[in-house]
Chains A and B, each alone.
Chain A
Amino acid sequence: MPDPAIRFERVTKAFGPVRAVDAVSFDLPQGALVTLLGPSGCGKTTTLRLIAGLELPSEGRIEIEGRDVSRLAAAERRIAMVFQSYALFPHMTVLENVAYGLSVNGARRAAAEAEARAMLASLGLEGFEARLPAELSGGQQQRVAVARALVLRPQVLLFDEPLSNLDARLRRRVREDIRDLQRKLGLSVVYVTHDQQEALAVSDLVVVMRDGRIAQMGTPTELYEDPADAFVADFMGEANVIAGEVLAADGGRARLRVGGAEVEAAMRAHPVGPATLAVRPEAVTLVDAGGVPGRVARAAFLGQTREYEVETDAGMLFVIAPASAPAFAEGAAVGCRLERVIPLRG
């Protein structure tokens, strides 16, 4: 078993009274793309900066590939970081930017530039070597920033919200590029984002953070299908969180009482009794009768899908149905068939 790429042991970072990162422990495997996901201010950037060595932990221990780096400054760690603003040096050409890390680490100028050229070429940036960063588009700047980070062959590559400065159409392509590159080179990558879709699309492993702590950690599927609590369920895509009672659940299917009605749904094993349940909007099918009875309060046609808000005894349910399914008008009485239900812990 190789050492984890990064290990946090009860790492705390306090800024005065604020504990931006609060006794966090985790192991991140090598060669994986891990995202740190969470709402703004939850401590993602601070966690990333702790890995980079731009902040030193107030308490706890940080290891990179088995080596204790807790007290090492950024310059002494073998990490590379792509900053949210890219932080390209405005007074250096693209080539000089990429060769910078090599030359401050003692490489000779010619060797550094040759290696930088090769890296630029491999990222499709040949021909841009002599330009200044200001003369590049946002996407190109981003690739230069990646080239500058990769050329040092870091143990870990860090991205802080790398897509936030790109326009919407470019985002999908760039995030795919990052993922392809990570797979091709087998890099260990830690990637910060507040966008749940982005996290689901690229990650091997997602760490959901909340108020400086880890809310849950797992693969995208695990987090989506089996969120630990209402916060994660809601954060990992929309979820209707409702109160209900488990009448029987033996793995696979369950019988539940929701809003006075008795229904059957796919659900993992759970003890009998009252429970908090999460239902994804697309896991509800609207029918004329059956399931949890309700009334359509609002209906909207979005092209590929229809969205409904349905008033039930268990509360308002948000439902997304394919456009091909039968349509219901506002005010119509409907039944909500729960296809899949997630019991939440706590």
Chain B
Amino acid sequence: MGALSLARIALACAAFGLLIPPWYGLESGFASWPGGEAAPLAVLLAGGAAWWLWPVPLILLASAPSLLAHRAEGRLLIACGAGVIAWVFLQGWAIGLPGTVWSIAAPFVGDASQPALGWGATFLLTGAVGLLSAGLAAQGRFNGDAFVSFLVVGSAALLIAFVFAPLLTILSAAAVEDGRIAPEAMLARLTAHEAWSLACVTSSLGCGVVWNTLALATLTGVLSTLLGLAFALLSARANLHLGGAFRALAILPLITPPFVVSLSLIVLFGRTGMVTEALSALFGIPRSRWIYGLPGVLLAQLLAFTPIAYLLLEGAVRQIAPSLEEAASTMGARRFTVFRTVTWPLLRPGLAAAFLLGFVESLSDFGNPLVLGGDFDVLATRIFFAIAGARHDPGRAAALALLLLGLTFGAFALQTAWLGKRRYVTVTGKGDAGVPSPLPRGLAIACGAVAFPWMAFTAIVYAIIMLGAFVHDIGRSDMTFTWRHYITAFEVEWFQGLVFRGAAWDSLFTTIEVAAISAPLTAGLGILLAWLLARQAFPGRRTLEFLAMLSFAIPGTVVGVSYIMAFNVPPLELTGTSLILIICFVFRNLPVGVRGGIAALAQIDRSLDEASATMGGGAVATLRRVILPLMRPAIIAALAYSFVHAMTAVSAVIFLVSARHNLATVYIVGRVEAGEIALAIAYSSVLILIMLAVVLGIDKLVGRAQIGRRAPAGAMQTAPVPVTA
């Protein structure tokens, strides 16, 4: 696309935003259009209101003459685009709803006030981004391709607005007290007793929440790695033909909301749980609440995250070239010696990666600690209660969020260092003949002794979820059959049409709607970004890549906190809408789409793009007719991934839901808090079935698509897929 055509479209878009849609965000709908609350900017200005916005149409007008004369003047367009964007945001920050926010603006605008930006502003800003991109293309940037220029500038703007800027907001929130910047308050918050106390070493008091988090994450990391290794060794080296069972087990946690296993654990081990009852009746073991705390959360996280470690380690085991082991055994080494001296050292990098993955997952997990934590708080839950609890303290929440962010970034840095170094041991599996040496006998028995009971345990845990929905009160071992919970949740009635009376319908519909809207947006943006990053050379490519992958490393809780802090006040006020849920999902799930896209593009020879170019295909035509059709599997995988994730995520969105826009997972957590375990279980089972249907349907559609939460096969070479817990 040429710069001139882009500039013209952009100007038209901006003019539309100026003239037709309401400039400000609406509280009560379009009814008053074209006046009142729903007035477009043009009407406002003509009526003398919002006079400080006059520069906007004037700047736009300045770009018009040369465009009408068929000229795209780079400098002018850049100035106009950037000018409009800058002015809209500056005035937005300066003049807020309560009146002038920046005292520097007060002498000029008096006590003017305005609500948040609305659809009119959205169109206008989109147009301004278009003008800016057209200007850059006209100056020869991006090889003069205005389409590429628009994609780069537009996606960078979105990533800055919805990934980077919210992070900065946290930083500033941590440093602000009583409306002023207070570095000492920030320091105090970051070093607070509640975070770092070591009281548990010397007394019966609890330790600081940072230590809790680290202890839990380390335990989860180590144990899930060991369990995963047992499974991996058995499935890759023991000739047991258990691949199917293992894979089924591995896929279950991927389609389950992460806290659902917690419900099952309560049913089994809670004070009135089935196992507790049995132990008490048979052996007189007193009932206790041991499951609420570190042991329970650890158990739940192991159930949820072991499959990831398994998938990753199975790849690592299979990558070890059999010939290396054969070489060792031809030199006379015994089986165990071969394992100890060849296999194990080659596995070490994989183990480190699996550990760090489990570690990061645990750091970011929110649902399990919330349901099972009891008095055992971790950073994720403490952040939540600092916002949603009785003592609402955004500064404290922000500081805790920074601590959590520090931990995850640290873990990711370690991981990158490890994965970067591990290349020297990577052994190509392809074309390397030979039979993998079987496990040493003792080791095989040990693996089996760990893996099979664990598998049985996992099966029971999931069976409970399916069973619990159909009995009166599984939490108190009342096992009479009933449809009661499903009726409460999903009752429908015929009363002059279909009426969805069940308590769960609202949140289910919202969830499906939000998931169905965000999935194509995620996949689309992700694939386009992948294409830009993999196929276009432009200055700032590394930065764009960093921005696109950044949300990998941000725990959901931190995202949630940052979003309510960043998008709660004009000019960008989104809290309470379903839009904020959609945006949240799009940018949380984006890295997976991007990475999948880049991997897919690596399989598509560049000469295909070039052939299209030599035949006169511009970027748009090449993308639409050559690249996208060839990327279909990656696109579908990205769609499935983001859909499933939007259905199961809880940590970020628990901050963002509202009475009108509640989500299934958050609703279920609420039922758990209210003690309605059976209802929660019934709802969860429905979610699992929906997800299973989606996953299997897609599997049918594209063969074995990778819909895992974390792409298992490629996980060794690339950064791990993030957490959505």
Residues of A within 8 A of B (CB): 52-54, 56, 71, 73-77, 79-81, 83-85, 87-91, 100-101, 104-105, 148-149, 152, 158
B630 within 8 A of A: yes
CB distance from A151 to the nearest CB of B (A): 9
Q: Could you say which residues of chain B place their CB within 8 Å of the CB of A53?
A: 613-614
Q: Is the CB of A74 within 8 A of B630?
A: no
Q: Which stretch of B352-360, B427-435, B616-624 is in the interface?
A: B616-624
The smallest beta-carbon distance between A154 and chain B, in angstroms, is 9
Give the distance in Å from the alpha carbon of A83 to the alpha carbon of B615 in the complex. Answer: 12
Q: Given A56-B143, A73-B143, A89-B626, does the pair A83, B617 have CB atoms closer than 8 Å?
A: no
Say yes or no: is B605 at the interface (Cβ < 8 Å to chain A).
yes
Beta-carbon contact of A85 and B615 below 8 Å: no
Interface residues, chain B, CB within 8 Å of chain A?
A: 140, 143-145, 605, 607-608, 610-618, 621, 625-626, 629-630
Contact yes or no, A100 B610, CB < 8 A? no
CB distance from B581 to the nearest CB of A (A): 36
Q: Which A residue sits closest to B611, measured CB to CB? A: A87
Cα-based distance from A248 to B605 in the complex (angstroms) = 59
Contact residue among B140, B608, B617, B629 (Cβ-Cβ distance under 8 Å from A75): B617
User: Which B residues are in CB contact (< 8 Å) with A81?
Assistant: 610-611, 614
The verdict on A73 contacting B145 (CB below 8 Å), with A80-B615, A100-B625, A105-B616 known, is: yes
Closest to B620 in A: A104
Contact A83 B616, beta carbon cutoff 8 Å = no
Instruction: State the 3 A-B residue pairs at the shortest beta-carbon distance, nearest first.
Output: A101-B615, A87-B611, A87-B607
Determine if A80 and B145 form an interchain contact, defined as CB atoms under 8 angstroms apart.
no
- Give the docked Cα–Cα distance between A188 and B404 (Å): 65
Q: Please report the C-alpha to C-alpha distance between residue A81 and residue B608 in the assembled complex, in whole angstroms.
A: 11
User: Closest CB of chain B to A198's CB: distance in Å?
Assistant: 21
- Whether A152 touches B616, Cβ cut-off 8 Å, given contacts A81-B611, A83-B611, is yes
User: Closest Cβ of chain A: how far from B634's Cβ, in Å?
Assistant: 14
Query: Cβ of A74: which chain B residues have Cβ within 8 Å of it?
Result: 610, 613-614
Chain B residues with Cβ below 8 Å from A85 are 605, 607
Q: A56-B143, A91-B630, A104-B625 are contacts. A75–B607 as well, Cβ < 8 Å?
A: no
Query: In the complex the two chains form, is B616's CB within 8 Å of A101's CB?
Result: yes
Complex contacts, A105 vs chain B, CB 8 Å: 615-616
- B interface SS class: helix
**CB within 8 Å: A-B pair count:** 74
A52 and B614 contact, Cβ closer than 8 Å, known pairs A83-B607, A87-B605: yes
Residue pair A89, B610 in contact (C-beta under 8 Å): no
Q: Cβ of B605: which chain A residues have Cβ within 8 Å of it?
A: 85, 87
- In the bound complex, what is the Cα–Cα distance between A228 and B610 (angstroms)? 36
| B residues in contact with A80, CB < 8 Å | 614-615
Task: Tell me, in angstroms, the Cα distance from A334 to B621 when the chains sit together.
Answer: 69
Q: Known pairs A80-B615, A87-B611, A101-B617. 12 more at Cβ < 8 A?
A: A71-B140, A71-B144, A73-B145, A74-B613, A75-B614, A75-B616, A79-B614, A83-B607, A89-B626, A89-B630, A100-B625, A104-B621
Instruction: State the Cβ distance, B476 to closest chain A Cβ, in Å.
Output: 59
A104 lies within 8 A of B145 (CB): no
**Which single residue of chain B is at the shortest CB-CB distance from A52?**
B614
Some 19 contacts from A to B, beta carbons below 8 A apart, are A52-B610, A53-B613, A53-B614, A71-B140, A75-B613, A75-B616, A75-B617, A77-B614, A79-B614, A80-B615, A81-B614, A83-B611, A85-B607, A89-B608, A89-B611, A101-B617, A104-B617, A148-B615, A152-B616
Residue of A73, A148, A149, A152 with most chain B CB atoms under a 10 A cut-off: A73
Q: B537: shortest Cβ distance to chain A, in Å?
A: 11
Residues from chain B with Cβ under 8 Å of A73 in the complex:
143-145, 613
The answer to whether A104 touches B143 (Cβ under 8 A) is no
A74 to B606, CA, bound (A): 14
B143 nearest CB neighbor, chain A only: A73
- The answer to whether B625 touches A87 (Cβ under 8 A) is no
Which residues of chain A come closer than 8 Å to B626, judged between CB atoms? Answer: 89
A residues within 8 A CB of B617?
A: 75, 100-101, 104
- The distance in angstroms between the C-alpha atoms of A73 and B621, with both chains bound, is 14
Question: In the docked arrangement, what's the CA distance between A71 and B616, Å?
Answer: 15
- A56: chain B residues at CB < 8 Å are 143
- B144-A100 in contact (CB<8A): no
Best-surrounded residue of B140, B615, B625, B626 (most CB of chain A within 10 A): B615
Closest to B624 in A: A104
**Bound Cα distance A83, B630 (Å):** 19
